[in-house]
Chain A
Amino acid sequence: MIETILDPVLALAGLGLVFGIGLAIASRVFAVEVDPKVEAINKALPGANCGACAYPGCGAFAEAVAAGKAPVNGCPVGGADCTENLGNIMGVNAEAGEKRIARVICNGTDCNAREKFNYEGMKDCKAAIMVQGGSKACEFGCLGLGTCVDVCPFDAVYIDNGLAKIDEEKCTACEKCVVECPKDVIEMIPHSQKVAVDCNSKEFGKEVKVKCSVGCIGCKICVKKCPFDAIKFEDSLAKIDYEKCTNCMLCAEKCPTKAIWADFDNRKKAVIIDDKCIGCTICAKKCPVDAIEGELKGLHKVLDDKCIGCSVCYEKCPKDAIEMK
């Protein structure tokens, strides 16, 4: 009686034991050394498997980093922390690339931009451009149908007043929207950038003006006004060189069509710390808008209404007597 229970139990347990031992031996014999770095890197990555690094997933990227084929700052999603961790694992001191964010370079909201016709088709930009290149009169502008919203894995894109907008806090610079946008109207800009040309129109003058009230008409006033030579024209469209731009916002102030966006609310002002100023006059000489006055060896003063917050004086002051607030 007891055998009917014992036999099968023992037989199966015996089989399991034999196979278990066999596998244990095999795993020794056929052991493949896995780079412990790969595992450590994999843990340090966000694990979203979004593919923004151009590898098929976090695992493949980890292997590439461990093999030295991919840079430690190759993960745009993980940000500075992730880069630092990877740098520690790989033993390299990596410069964390400045955080970038996507920006829709168009301000053609429903009230600003003229429509060619009423589009009532699929809510998808790629479908919409099949019909006469989209309903907006300007062929370069954002259609606002949300192809980028659908593709964003981080819910960072939303549609506001017929225009795609990007939530700066949520954007991880994975560039999926940049790739997906059929109008190529999304651009990557540095996160610290507070000035941007919000127009993508490569047309000139009146052609822009009749289609959109806030387009860049190519007047080049910004180029003339920029004290730092940071604006260039390509295809009659202003482009800001983010390396040279100091966020002084002068161009945005002068732009006649308000095609240049600037974060005026957070505009900085230079403040001279009285105790430290020795009156060397360097700041006054360097200021592009003559916003600093003062006698040689006397205390200098910033004229708040003239200061544009370009921080040139802050960089040039030999005594660190200037603060940007």
Chain B
Amino acid sequence: MEFVAILVSAILVNNFVLARFLGICPFLGVSKQVETAFGMGMAVTFVMTLASIITYLIHRLVLVNLGIEYLQTIAFILVIASLVQFVELFVKKASPGLYDALGVYLPLITTNCAVLGLAILNIQEKYTLMKTITHAIGASIGFMIAIVLFAGIRERLALADVPECLKGFPIALITAGLMSVAFLGFQGLSVL
């Protein structure tokens, strides 16, 4: 039951993008087409899950043992940066199409606050390894839902008759704000 609570909470109630406002850069940058948004979601999912596991292990095995938990942030950034480099190498080899589609946003996951935020939240909440993984999966599904929904709306917006002064990013930001307000409704779920 606790796992379900963590999952639902990460997906809906504390949605990383729309409730915690983490990872806004790729959310706005790679959401012009559903297809690339989905690709970005997959990349973030992969990095988030892997990063959570590794940061958890490093925190437990290295930082706690040596009593240097205060180096959390810098160590996690190191982990995430290396991981993203690895994912980039991997995607370039495995799927050049996805690599081209993600473009500059793949390296940008390096500095994506959603990934770092997730790693730090895991430690703060004192999750076990299994809970950490569940939380990571929930967070990435939440990110995926947000970015794919947003991309779907933006695809329609591209064809809509938007006033000249609101074309492009202004209307996208307004849309994102409205989505965030909609997700606010889940606060009442109180699964935790």
B-binding residues in A (CB < 8 A): 7-8, 11-12, 15-16, 19-20, 22-23, 26-27, 30-32
Contact = CB atoms under 8 A, between A and B. Distances in A.
Given A8-B66, A15-B75, A30-B92, 15 more contacts: A8-B68, A8-B71, A11-B68, A12-B75, A19-B78, A19-B79, A20-B82, A22-B86, A23-B82, A23-B85, A23-B89, A30-B89, A30-B94, A32-B92, A32-B93
A122 to B, nearest CB: 12
A31 B88 CA distance: 11
B62 interface: yes
A127 to B, nearest CB: 11
B89 A19 contact: no
Interface in B74-101: 74-75, 78-79, 82, 85-86, 89-90, 92-94, 96
Main SS class of interface, B: helix
B68 A7 contact: yes
B157 interface: no
Interface string B54-76: 00001000110011100100110
A30 B58 contact: no
A20 B94 CA distance: 21
B74 A12 contact: yes
B20 to A, nearest CB: 27
Contacts of B58: 15
**Those 4 A-B pairs whose CB atoms lie nearest each other, nearest first:** A19-B82, A30-B93, A30-B89, A8-B68
A7 B63 CA distance: 10
A11 B78 contact: no
Nearest to B74: A12
Interface of B: 58, 62-63, 66-68, 71, 74-75, 78-79, 82, 85-86, 89-90, 92-94, 96
B86 A26 contact: yes
Contacts, number: 46
Given A8-B68, A15-B58, A27 B78 contact: no
Contacts of B78: 12, 15-16, 19
11 contacts: A7-B66, A7-B68, A8-B66, A12-B75, A15-B58, A15-B62, A15-B78, A19-B78, A23-B89, A26-B89, A32-B96
B119 to A, nearest CB: 14
A31 B62 CA distance: 31
A23 B74 contact: no
B89 A12 contact: no
Contacts of A15: 58, 62, 75, 78-79
Nearest to B94: A30
A20 B71 CA distance: 19
A30 B93 CA distance: 6
Nearest to B63: A11
Contacts of A16: 78
